[in-house]
């Protein structure tokens, strides 16, 4: 009941402050549009928007970024349905049946189905986030530095071992992020480390140029390798003249509800686990929808449930990803890491104390998520086809030079100095080579953001045990998370071995 009162108070505050409401609406609409641009994704747009949050209130800035993330996850389905080109990895599954419906002239029905399924999955995930996260936070408050170290070991192992194609390269990326986080002043003794007598390095690497470089600048460099024909334009199949093909009816939506609910459950479960994210949940939701369908032969040929299931699954991850961030201060995905970055910029550190110290802010973010859901639903129902037509007029040869300019402006705005622009370029080159050789940029960034907490909890634990590392194996909770970390690595090794054996 208390959560409901705080939520309504937050909604009232947002609706009475038009600036905050405007940023939420802008974030959701911009997220849909950016997510609909293949190759750009909402992640790039979020990173470019982060420097502007310096001049905004914490609620407005975090809410805008959160809304942009939600809109972007749905927006990736628009080009997947219209052109069979997913706007994000999470929308890759949607193209299977979505594009088949477009070829039949039912693209409006498919887009409306995707918007409704995304909204339903998202809203159910938000309800769990709003009403149950505080209980997890109360449990997290009872964890000491030893237990938190075990949790961080597990999180970093999951993030490094699961993200990317190679477990070894993912773990190396996470270790590299931890190493980069050690540059600057020692958090315990305040002694400078790895600064090479460069004054700017005594405070370590700033988060903003690192984020812009690894995610945005690297994308510009990747796209610079590709050639784009000026005359090449995407086309949309003609729309059906039958009115029934141009709207999603209630009986059709009702028939999709079982698939939507099952996919939501998978998205909720997987979204809570750090590092797994929304890339695999749509495929699990799609497989379950096909397995339990009365007409599985229709999947792959334009089944509405084949659109609804993956969209409900990937949007259900949005709310679930915030649960480990708010309760433990551990981002569960790239988007959660970016949201955590905005928290840090405003001097707020996510974790179990945030519900006691910043309750109005937290429930304001929850309320913003509900408004963002409604916004992208309306955009999807009313303007998704228009956005698809606009995409046919925007060449990539124009988009990425503009992205490069925005990257440079965002890095320069941090301290109005070229040093940060140089950092941005350096981390952009690093991100480019990481992507080229299939290392994991998200694992690198998340490990960098968790590096300080990892080191502090490690050293506090060793101080408590007077340097005895066996302390980590004598506390049940810490030991359980360490065993889970080793078990995860062992399971990944075993599954890779079985694949190699089956292929030979």
Let me know if residue 233 belongs to a domain: no
pLDDT of residue 81: 85
Mean pLDDT by 10 residues, the chain (504 residues): 83 90 92 79 80 86 92 86 74 83 85 91 91 83 84 82 74 90 82 81 84 84 69 57 77 89 86 65 82 82 87 87 85 81 86 85 92 91 76 69 81 78 91 88 85 87 86 88 85 76 70
The pair of structure tokens assigned to 162 is 């699961």
Burial label for 146, CB within 10 Å (0-12, 13-18, 19+), is buried
In-domain check, residue 124: yes
With respect to residue 82, please indicate whether it lies within any of the assigned structural domains: yes
* 323/336 Cα distance (integer angstroms): 10
In a domain, 105, yes or no: yes
Evaluate whether residue 241 is within a structural domain. no
Position 417 in a domain? yes
**Residue written as tokens 């997947």?**
80
Q: What's residue 50's pLDDT? A: 84
169 contacts: CB under 8 Å, gap ≥ 6: 437, 438, 439, 440
Residue 378 in domain? yes
Tell me the residue range of the domain where 468 lies: 2-227+248-503
pLDDT of residue 231: 45
Total number of domains in the chain: 1
Helix H, strand E, coil C: the string for 206-234 is CHHHHHHHHHHHHHHHHHHCCCCCCCCCC
Report d(CA 12, CA 368) in Å as an integer. Answer: 11
pLDDT at 23: 94
Residue 367 counted as domain residue: yes
Q: Which residues contact 219 (CB under 8 A, 6 or more apart)?
A: 39, 40, 44, 400, 403
């Amino acid at each position: 009941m208390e959560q409901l009162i705080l939520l309504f108070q937050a909604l009232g505050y947002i609706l009475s402050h038009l600036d905050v409401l405007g940023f939420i609406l802008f974030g959701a609409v911009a997220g849909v549009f950016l997510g609909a641009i293949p190759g750009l994704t909402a992640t790039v747009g979020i990173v470019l928007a982060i420097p502007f949050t310096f001049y905004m209130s914490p609620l407005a800035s975090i809410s805008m970024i959160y809304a942009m993330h939600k809109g972007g996850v749905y927006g990736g389905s628009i080009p997947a349905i219209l052109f069979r080109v997913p706007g994000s990895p999470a929308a890759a599954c949607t193209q299977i049946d979505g594009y088949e419906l477009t070829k039949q002239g039912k693209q409006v029905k498919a887009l409306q189905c995707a918007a409704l399924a995304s909204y339903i999955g998202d809203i159910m995930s938000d309800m769990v986030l709003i009403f149950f996260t505080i209980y997890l936070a109360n449990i997290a408050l009872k964890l000491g530095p030893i237990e938190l170290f075990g949790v961080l070991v597990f999180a970093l192992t999951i993030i490094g071992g699961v993200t990317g194609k190679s477990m070894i390269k993912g773990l190396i990326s996470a270790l590299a992020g931890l190493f980069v986080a050690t540059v600057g002043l020692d958090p315990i003794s305040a002694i400078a480390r790895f600064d090479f007598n460069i004054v700017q390095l005594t405070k370590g690497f700033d988060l903003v140029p690192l984020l812009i470089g690894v995610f945005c600048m690297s994308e510009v460099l990747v796209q610079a390798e590709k050639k784009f024909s000026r005359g090449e334009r995407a086309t949309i199949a003609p729309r059906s003249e039958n009115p029934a093909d141009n709207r999603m009816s209630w009986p059709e939506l009702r028939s999709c509800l079982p698939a939507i609910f099952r996919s939501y459950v998978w998205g909720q479960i997987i979204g809570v686990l750090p590092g797994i994210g929304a890339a695999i949940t749509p495929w699990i939701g799609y497989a379950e929808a096909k397995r339990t369908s009365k007409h599985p032969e229709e999947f792959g040929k334009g089944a509405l449930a084949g659109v609804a299931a993956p969209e409900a699954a990937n949007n259900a991850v949005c709310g679930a990803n915030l649960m480990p961030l708010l309760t433990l201060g551990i981002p569960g995905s790239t988007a959660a890491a970016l949201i955590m970055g905005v928290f840090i910029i405003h001097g707020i550190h996510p974790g179990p104390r945030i519900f006691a110290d910043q309750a109005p802010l937290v429930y304001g973010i929850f309320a913003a998520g509900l408004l963002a859901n409604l916004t992208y639903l309306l955009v999807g129902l009313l303007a998704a086809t228009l956005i698809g037509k606009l995409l046919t007029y925007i060449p990539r040869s124009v988009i990425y030079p503009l992205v490069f300019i925005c990257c440079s402006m965002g890095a320069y705005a941090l301290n109005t100095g070229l040093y940060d622009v140089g950092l941005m370029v350096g981390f952009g080159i690093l991100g480019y080579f990481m992507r080229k050789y299939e290392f994991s940029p998200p694992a690198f960034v998340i490990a960098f953001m968790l590096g300080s907490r990892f080191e502090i909890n490690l050293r506090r634990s060793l101080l408590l045990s007077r340097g005895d590392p066996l302390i980590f194996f004598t506390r049940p909770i810490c030991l359980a998370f360490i065993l889970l970390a080793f078990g995860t690595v062992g399971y990944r090794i075993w599954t890779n071995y079985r694949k190699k054996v089956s292929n030979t």
